[in-house]
Amino acid sequence: MRTLCKKYSWHEVMQRDIRDHTIILDIDGVLMADAESTIDPQIASYIATLKEHNDIFIVSNSFRDARCAYAAEALGLPWIDSPFKKPSVSILNYMQYDHAKPMLVIGDKLLTDGIFALRIGAEPVMLHRRTSPKDRIVIKLTYLLDDIAYSLVRLWYTR
């Protein structure tokens, strides 16, 4: 659980030499804020570099299929469109991946991405969330609840 207590910036993640992993990548709050419609070119460039040495899958809890399809196409990555949502481990049944490679989950929400990472034995890489003042209110409320949970976990495990 201690690995969930630190949040990283994209800049910090880009400094790591991540190789030979299976990476599960979130969209909302990670690649784009909820109200954004394009991926930051610097993030897209880094994802292209990650693809050279890792297997990467987009797994999102979004019900906006067009958004998921856009991210997958823009980055040239497979989108795992399963009936299950994180933190369900059943998502793995929809992925064809090398079970020998260590897994890494890059996300922004403890209650979905963080718990999912722990349940599948992956390293969680929790990012500072990308937000926009134009994010939908339901998303802002979800972020608030997740931030409260994150604060409680951090308080508990950093004593």
The CATH number linked to 13 is 3.40.50.1000
**Domains identified in the chain, total number:** 1
Round to whole Å and give the CA distance between 15 and 23. 16
Neighbours of 87 (CB within 10 A): 20
Beta strands in 31-79 (DSSP E): 55-58
Which pLDDT band, with edges at 50, 70 and 90, does 154 fall under? confident
Round to whole Å and give the CA distance between 47 and 84. 25
Nearest CA-CA partner of 43 in 120, 96, 108, 99: 108
Round to whole Å and give the CA distance between 118 and 80. 19
Which pLDDT band, with edges at 50, 70 and 90, does 78 fall under? very high
How high does pLDDT run on average in the chain? 94
pLDDT of amino acid 158? 66
Q: Which residue matches tokens 């969209």? A: 27
| pLDDT at residue 53 is higher than 70 | yes
pLDDT of amino acid 156? 80
Which strands sit side by side in the sheet containing 103-107, from one edge to the other?
7-8, 123-127, 103-107, 22-25, 55-58
Q: Percent of the chain, pLDDT > 70?
A: 96
In contact, 96 and 57? CB cutoff 8 Å: no
pLDDT of amino acid 155? 83
Residue 15 structural domain:
2-157
pTM reported for the whole predicted model = 0.93
